[in-house]
């Protein structure tokens, strides 16, 4: 019997052990999130998921009822509440991810993913791991945002695509010396005392995806404007906007309810800021002045 290959993926409070009878290779873009050695004790990790990578040998049976479908995902749920996801690229299925019980997965890949007896772990495979589902079990949500660290705290810029999240992050890097952790997405999670922000492997077109976890300082909702101004956003408006920018399994009512509860706690705990801004240094100055005043008032 062949010894199984194993690789470990850690994203904030969530960890996976990926195993296979085939050798496992990794895209260098995501190497910092993956390791070959067993995980040492890590106080951040709340949930450990076992995932076996297999290569399809014939037709893959699908268990459950179809509950959701889009061009990329077809979601099936069986009588026990476990999910099977069929993932497609350009209309052709490339993987089936199947829960066998809680925190245990089989990821069955089309033979095209097997090269020289290696399974190559890249973004499509990572995105097949039901990460948002398991992140919720860690009291976490994935937010469409640019993530920077400034003065030891996370600032998350969020808005619909094309509004300028990455631009604002780059301005903070240039004029404030902030560190950009991810240009497209972040994990927001609750450690039972504070909200934290963690980096993700996925980063859109930004190419920036670092492994960092820090306390969440603020969430900034960007609106393009000729002049810069910052003001508090009401919790009700912030909650509605966050729900629209987070990866939420809307076919799963339990997930939706837990997401709403977590968002309600988030908007009551962390400053929510409306930033009307241009693409100049003044946008940084305006927001920094506002956040500094918040800290003084809280202090």
Contact of 121 with 4, CB cutoff 8 Å: no
Predicted TM-score (pTM) above 0.85: yes
Transcribe the chain into DSSP letters: -PPPEEEEEEETTEEEEEEESSEEEE-GGGGGGEESSPPPP-TT--EEEEEEEEE--SPPP--SEEEEE-SSEEEEE-TTS-EEEEEEETTEEEEEEEEEETTEEEEEE-GGGEETTEEEE-HHHHTTS-HHHHHHHTTEEEEE-EEEEETTEEEEEE-STTSSHHHHHHHHHHHH-PEEEESSEEEEEE-SSSEEEE--S--TTS--B---EEEEEEEEEEEE-SS-EEEEPPHHHHHHHHHHHB---TT-HHHHHHHHHHHHHHHHHS-EEEEEE-SSHHHHHHHHHHHHHHHHHH-
In this structure, the number of other CB atoms found within 10 A of the CB of residue 20 comes to 22
Pick the range with the lowest mean pLDDT from 44-53, 174-183, 269-278.
44-53
**pLDDT band for position 1 (cuts 50, 70, 90):** very low
Pick the range with the lowest mean pLDDT from 42-46, 169-173, 196-200, 210-214.
42-46
Q: Both ends of the chain: CA-CA distance in Å? A: 62
In the chain, what are the domain boundaries?
Answer: 5-137, 140-298
What mean pLDDT comes out for the span 39-47?
A: 73
Specify which of 41-45, 177-181, 292-296 reaches the highest per-range mean pLDDT: 177-181
**pLDDT band for position 62 (cuts 50, 70, 90):** confident
Pick the range with the lowest mean pLDDT from 21-35, 103-117, 124-138, 182-196.
103-117
In this structure, the number of other CB atoms found within 10 A of the CB of residue 1 comes to 4
Residue 298 phi/psi, 5° resolution?
-75, -25
Fold of 140-298: Phosphoenolpyruvate Carboxykinase; domain 3 (3.90.228)
């Amino acid at each position: 019997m062949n010894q199984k290959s194993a690789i470990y993926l850690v994203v904030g409070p969530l960890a996976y052990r990926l195993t296979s009878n085939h050798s496992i290779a990794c895209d260098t873009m995501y190497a910092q999130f993956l390791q070959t050695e067993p995980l040492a004790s890590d106080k951040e990790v709340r949930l450990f998921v076992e995932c076996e990578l297999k290569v399809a040998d014939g037709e893959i049976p699908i268990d459950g009822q179809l509950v959701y479908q889009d061009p990329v995902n077809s979601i099936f749920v069986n009588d026990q509440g476990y999910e099977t996801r069929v993932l497609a690229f350009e209309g052709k299925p490339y993987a089936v991810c199947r829960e066998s019980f809680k925190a245990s997965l089989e990821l069955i890949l089309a033979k095209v993913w097997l090269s020289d007896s290696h399974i190559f772990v890249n973004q499509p495979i990572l995105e097949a791991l039901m990460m948002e589902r398991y992140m919720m079990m860690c009291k976490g949500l994935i937010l469409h945002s640019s993530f920077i660290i400034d003065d030891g705290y996370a600032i998350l810029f969020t808005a619909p695509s094309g509004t300028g999240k990455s631009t604002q992050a780059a301005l903070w890097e240039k004029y404030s010396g902030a560190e950009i952790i991810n240009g497209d997405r972040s994990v927001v999670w609750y450690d039972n005392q504070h909200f934290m922000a963690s980096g993700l492997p996925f980063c859109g077109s930004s190419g920036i995806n670092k492994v960092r976890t820090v306390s969440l300082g603020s969430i900034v909702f960007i609106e393009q404007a000729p002049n810069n101004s910052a003001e508090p956003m009401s919790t009700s408006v912030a909650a509605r906007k966050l729900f629209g920018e987070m990866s939420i399994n809307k076919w799963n009512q339990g997930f939706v309810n837990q997401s709403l509860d977590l968002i309600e706690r988030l908007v009551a705990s962390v400053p929510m800021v409306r930033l009307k801004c241009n693409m100049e240094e003044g946008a940084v100055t305006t927001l920094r002045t506002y956040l500094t005043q918040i800290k003084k008032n809280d202090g």
